[in-house]
Amino acid sequence: MIQNEEFIQEFVEEATVHAALVEQMLLGKQLLKPANEAIHEVFRAVHSIKGTAGFFGLKKIVALSHVMESVFGEVRNERIVLDEVHVDVLLAANDCLKSMIDDVLNSEATEIRLHEEQLSLILGVSLGEVAEIEEEVISGPPDDEQWLEVAAVRTALQHGQSLYRWTVDAQTALTLAHVETVANVLGAMYDGVRITTAGEAKQWFESLRENAAEYQFTWLLASILESDLLHVALQLPVDTLQPLTLKLHGEQAAYGEVTVGIDSLDGGLGGSDSVGDGRGGSGSSSPNRAGAAGDSETRTVRAEDSIRVHVSILNDLLNMASEMVLGRNQLLRTLEDYRKTIPGLGPILQNIDRLTSGMQEKVMFTRMQPLGNVFNKFPRMIRDIAKNLKKEMELVIEGEQVELDKSMIEALADPLTHLIRNAADHGLETPERRVAAGKGRVGTITLKAYHEGGYVYIDIIDDGAGMDSEKIKQKALEKQIITADEVQRLSEQEALKLIFRPGFSTAEQVTDLSGRGVGMDVVRTNIEKLGGAIELFSTLGEGSTVRLMLPLTLAIIQSLIVEAGGHKFALPQANLKEVVTVCEDQRKEERRIETIQGAEVLRLRGRLLPVVRLARILGIEAALEPAKLRVLVLKIGSRMFGIIVDDIHGSEETLVKSLPDYLKDCHCYSGVTIMGDGKTSLILDLEGILRLSELQFREDAETAEDRQAELAEQALESQNLLLFQCSGSEMFALDLSMVARVEEIEATQIERVGQREYIQFRGDSLRVIRPESHLSVTQGEQQPRKLYVIIPKLVHHPIGIVIHRIYDNVTTRVALNSEDVRLKGIIGSTIYNDKLVLIMNIYELFEQAAPEFYAVAGKHAKRSGKVLLAEDTPFFQKMEKSYLEEAGYQVTLAVNGLEALEALERETFDIVISDIQMPHMDGYQLVKRIREHQTWLNLPVIAVTSMTGEWHTQHGMDSGFDFYEAKLDRDCLLQTIDKAIRLRKQVAAYD
Amino acid sequence: MIKVLSFRVAGKLFGIEITEVKEINRNVEYATVPRAAKYIVGLFNMRGQIVTLFNLATILGLADSGERSGRVTCIILKQGAGSANQCGFVIDEPGDVLDLDYALVEDPPSQLLSDQSDHIAKVARLPDELLLIIQPQTVFDHHSY
């Protein structure tokens, strides 16, 4: 029975790995080919399961692995060539083995006879005549019995021991000491497994040594040790020990007892006939074993330079590491003032800072595991499904080395299984249909993992029939998931998304594999629980792709710290779409909070967004109705809603700690976190809040505008942004084209003159401003020693902008998603890497700080006139439109050349301002078309572009532009407009 | 002989076996939890571990003064390290650790308030006062309410 419960767990872990390896190898096709390297690995895996199981006395596991080993042995010796049927039998046996390993304590009760029978059938068939020889051996000449105790061999094999032949030439340098060593070791280690007694051996040896110098002795040893260890243990030269393989009799195995027969024993036991041990040998070489022991380079055997550590220890480490980060922050804050006064403190603090961050990162890494851990089980599944459905398919796996947090990997197993089943069952067609559609018989499912932008993506791609949106709509109607009226309005993409609805199943025949109708909505929920998202693409006739997007780790999430009723909460930023500020005196009709049937809604870009007040849901008192309401627009799956909070405190990387059980009843928190100041803060569970709010959603009520917004987002030009922070917590951004340079300065370099601040810059004094003093944003207390000054370009009266920290310099497609942050000096907000970023409007900022130079009204006479602005990038649209409108122009927007032409057809404009790079029709084409047109001949047209340079300018002028201006230079642009209008008027007058 | 840490809650004298106690924390700054049960005072960060603070007075049906200045003194119970369910309770003030002879300790009298009877393990008659020794297992098992 089980002898050592402490070690048994180790056996289970190890054996699980081995069994998995066997499965993996069986699924790979190389075993089907004769003479391949993989077989050695498989053989060794099974062998070591058998060996260890024998050590624990797990008889059934030993028995089954033994039979399997025998089969693999035969394959290795090229006596059997495996075919598909054999592989099925072996897989089934391996499954049985796996289940016994999983439930090791009850493994003795497992019925394995069927597998044994089937396996011995493989052996039986192939053995043929060999079996008869074995018969002879077992009932062989009586002198065999003298030294070969069959019962002892049987016991040895039942314990999973390997048999070795030890040949000693009396003439060699071997001394008696060796025999004694062997006898002692054998006696000590394998009491009861007596094959040849040591005493007898000694006697024989002694008596024969004298007069029979040319004699050879052969012992049969049984040991659990592998051959490479055995000779070390016994201190024998390697070449005197030869492993033996033993065969099993098929018909006897049927009795459930492992009976061994000894066949030619890889070249014969009686390697020499001199001691009268009988049988003539059939050669003494046994090269076959070498492969089993030696080849480790053949496949991706995971190198054993790792150790097993219990997860609880890693979790503790992770906790302590994050605690240490907090400690470091406090330390740095406390000692900041003493950096100067205590010599040498600076470098020490810096070092601790660096080490702590490094350590935290490494600890996080310890929890990372390759996705291969979960991908590995799919080849088997695909094989089974293919058999089951009579389809032909293959699975291509890419990126199994991509790593994710352990907890995430575990949680992914079910959703992935489901998606792959779906792809195989619903996605891929039968071979006949594939051929009819002009495709290859064999369908391909690709499982691909890769990193992108701080996320891990997993694509499940099939080259099957694709999804028929009409069929899906039909089905949705039948199942009453959607009304006929709604169906009309659905786009193709929206129709596909219907499969994520509860109770949806489109397979025409419900199979036992998938299509039970509990599928995709559960998958979606599970993925979203992990903080991820799921997307779906499909082309009819060509296949479908399901894309999972997952954060790297569960333990740390980016959160927005929000306040309601004096409590601070962390809100996971993954679901945050935008932040909308609603002012009391909001003049714009399109954005305000209204009440419809007792429920509050926010009118946002023409659609109604249900909103809830966080304080009300949590039953706390909100701050007195402020002049500004902050609404966080959130999206969970297809449900969009807003949460009203009292205040926003910027975003933090929060370490998620599990919620105490005592608070589970609140139903509105998903965890707890410790913030930078050491205080605890609850992480809001948005799903829970949604449930508590009892908001009613018409699922998936996405409107046409949403789709357009999404399309617009995809078509965005990328922009270079400088991300930075001032003393407060907000993240700001400036378009790099407006930045001349960034200077690092000491805080002491700033000099004050009255209310204003100046620095020395290139021999001149340069006025600097602090954005937080001029914008309605948070102001921090701390006054770091080092500051940065942004020197802007494209302005006439340079003013430096003092910032505290440069965060990053990124190229990104900006989805400028707001007309909402109505702060003076801010163009709008965008989300970058889950952070809310405010994009600065330098002109407005400078107007606040230095109205004498920057106020439009002061500098330029109020203008009038109609401007057509052709510009595809929302950011620039907004920027330029705001300059122009402030200057008094009436602006009409066109997002490309074609639209601009249409607008020109409709009404008359005083001037056209056009971007160069636009979709559909670019600026060059646009101006050519305008010039071709008789009535627009004298229409002033100005190019405003980020593509500057002589060639571009020349090309632009040749095309017919009047002027060619850099984007974002407001004053220049306004002056140029004046000039262009004046010039064209003169030209027209001459005409 | 048992060792009991005495403390006062809502003015009354209680005790807890010292083997159940991890530590006493003073000046604890805690965060209240909206929507939590009324017997939960809040959460605090004890060296990186989240501790749930209970209101013993509410649990025992005593009149709670309800006045807390944001910083409290509390007793933290022993619990497996790394457990998500570290807990403690707020007290008025800690008292002495008493060595109580078994002779002094009795089962709780039947006339105890029903709110209390489950949560009081033993009663000790001190010279001038009655000491109620709480039973942490039932007090802080959140399922028992």
pLDDT along chain A (991 residues), means of 10: 61 83 79 72 82 77 84 79 83 87 81 81 54 34 42 60 64 53 52 45 56 55 65 65 54 32 35 34 35 37 66 82 77 81 86 84 80 86 85 88 83 87 85 88 90 78 85 80 76 78 57 50 79 82 87 70 89 83 62 76 80 88 73 80 88 76 84 80 86 66 48 54 82 80 81 83 81 78 80 75 80 64 73 79 78 58 78 76 79 83 83 80 82 78 73 75 74 79 72 55
In terms of CA atoms, which chain A residue is nearest residue B51? A660
E-assigned strands of A881-954? 890-894, 911-914, 941-945
Chain centroid, CA A677 distance in Å? 31
Contact A70, A248 (CB under 8 A): yes
With CB atoms and an 8 Å threshold, state whether B36 touches A672: no
pLDDT averaged per 10 residues in sequence order, chain B, 145 residues: 90 90 88 88 84 88 69 84 74 89 81 71 86 84 52
The model's pTM is 0.42
Does residue A660 belong to the interface with chain B, where contact is any CB pair within 8 Å?
yes
Secondary structure of residue A164 in the 3-state scheme: strand
CA distance linking residue B145 with residue B137, whole number of Å: 13
With CB atoms and an 8 Å threshold, state whether A662 touches B142: yes
Tell me which residue in A619, A660, A666 faces B50 most closely, judged by beta carbons.
Answer: A660
Contacts of A207 (CB under 8 A, 6+ apart): none
| pLDDT reported for residue A460 | 92
Nearest CA to CA, how far is B125 from chain A (Å)?
Answer: 33
Q: Which of A805, A783, A788 shows the shortest CA–CA distance to A743?
A: A788
With CB atoms and an 8 Å threshold, state whether A567 touches B48: no
Residue to substitute from A663, A673, A684, A693, interface B, most B β-carbons within 10 A: A663
The tokens describing A493, both together, are: 């993409």
CA distance linking residue A579 with residue A609, whole number of Å: 13
With CB atoms and an 8 Å threshold, state whether A679 touches B40: no
With CB atoms and an 8 Å threshold, state whether A312 touches B82: yes
Nearest CA to CA, how far is B142 from chain A (Å)?
Answer: 6
Residue to substitute from B25, B38, B45, interface A, most A β-carbons within 10 A: B45
With CB atoms and an 8 Å threshold, state whether B82 touches A674: no
Does residue B71 belong to the interface with chain A, where contact is any CB pair within 8 Å?
no
What number of helices (H) and strands (E) belong to chain A? 35, 39
Nearest CA to CA, how far is A664 from chain B (Å)?
Answer: 9
Nearest CA to CA, how far is A488 from chain B (Å)?
Answer: 43
In terms of CA atoms, which chain A residue is nearest residue B142? A662
Look-up of token digits 């930045």:
A739
With CB atoms and an 8 Å threshold, state whether B34 touches A679: no
With CB atoms and an 8 Å threshold, state whether A319 touches B142: no
Q: Which of A390, A462, A451, A388 shows the shortest CA–CA distance to A423?
A: A462
CA distance linking residue A160 with residue A57, whole number of Å: 9
In terms of CA atoms, which chain A residue is nearest residue B54? A662
Secondary structure of residue A48 in the 3-state scheme: helix
The tokens describing A901, both together, are: 């032409």
Residues of B in contact with A322 (CB under 8 A): 48
Buried b (16+ CB within 10 A) or exposed e, A148-163: bbbebbebbbbbbbbb
| pLDDT reported for residue A301 | 43
In terms of CA atoms, which chain A residue is nearest residue B84? A660
Count other Cβ atoms within 10 Å, centred on residue A536: 16
With CB atoms and an 8 Å threshold, state whether B45 touches A678: yes
Instruction: Establish whether this prediction's ipTM goes over 0.85.
Output: yes
E-assigned strands of A627-730? 628-636, 639-645, 647-655, 669-674, 680-684, 718-725
With CB atoms and an 8 Å threshold, state whether A662 touches B34: no
Residue to substitute from A662, A683, A685, interface B, most B β-carbons within 10 A: A662
The tokens describing A187, both together, are: 């006696």
The tokens describing A107, both together, are: 């493994």
| pLDDT reported for residue B53 | 92
Tell me which residue in A565, A618, A674 faces B45 most closely, judged by beta carbons.
Answer: A674
| pLDDT reported for residue A335 | 84
Contact A940, A962 (CB under 8 A): yes
Q: How many CB pairs under 8 A join A and B?
A: 77
Q: Which of B141, B105, B100, B101 shows the shortest CA–CA distance to B121?
A: B105
Contacts of A407 (CB under 8 A, 6+ apart): A367, A554
Contact A537, A453 (CB under 8 A): no
Using a 10 angstrom Cβ sphere, with 0-12 exposed, 13-18 middle and 19 or more buried, the burial of residue A235 is exposed
Q: Which of A862, A916, A913, A873 shows the shortest CA–CA distance to A891?
A: A913
Tell me which residue in B33, B45, B48 faces A320 most closely, judged by beta carbons.
Answer: B48
Does residue B144 belong to the interface with chain A, where contact is any CB pair within 8 Å?
no
Name A671's bridge partners: A683
DSSP one-letter code for A717: P
CB contacts under 8 A, B 79-98 vs A, are 81-82, 84-87
Whole-angstrom CA distances from A39 to A77, A311, A343, A378 are 10, 34, 66, 21
Residues of B in contact with A620 (CB under 8 A): 34
Contact A571, A684 (CB under 8 A): yes
With CB atoms and an 8 Å threshold, state whether B48 touches A326: yes
With CB atoms and an 8 Å threshold, state whether A665 touches B37: yes
CA distance linking residue A222 with residue A388, whole number of Å: 44
E-assigned strands of B1-145? 2-9, 12-17, 21-29, 40-46, 49-54, 71-77, 86-91, 93-100, 105-106, 120-125, 130-134
Domain B2-141 has CATH 2.40.50.180: yes
Residues of A in contact with B48 (CB under 8 A): 319-320, 322-323, 326, 674
| pLDDT reported for residue A718 | 60
Contact A110, A74 (CB under 8 A): no
Where do the structural domains in chain B lie, given as residue ranges? Answer: 2-141
With CB atoms and an 8 Å threshold, state whether A662 touches B36: yes
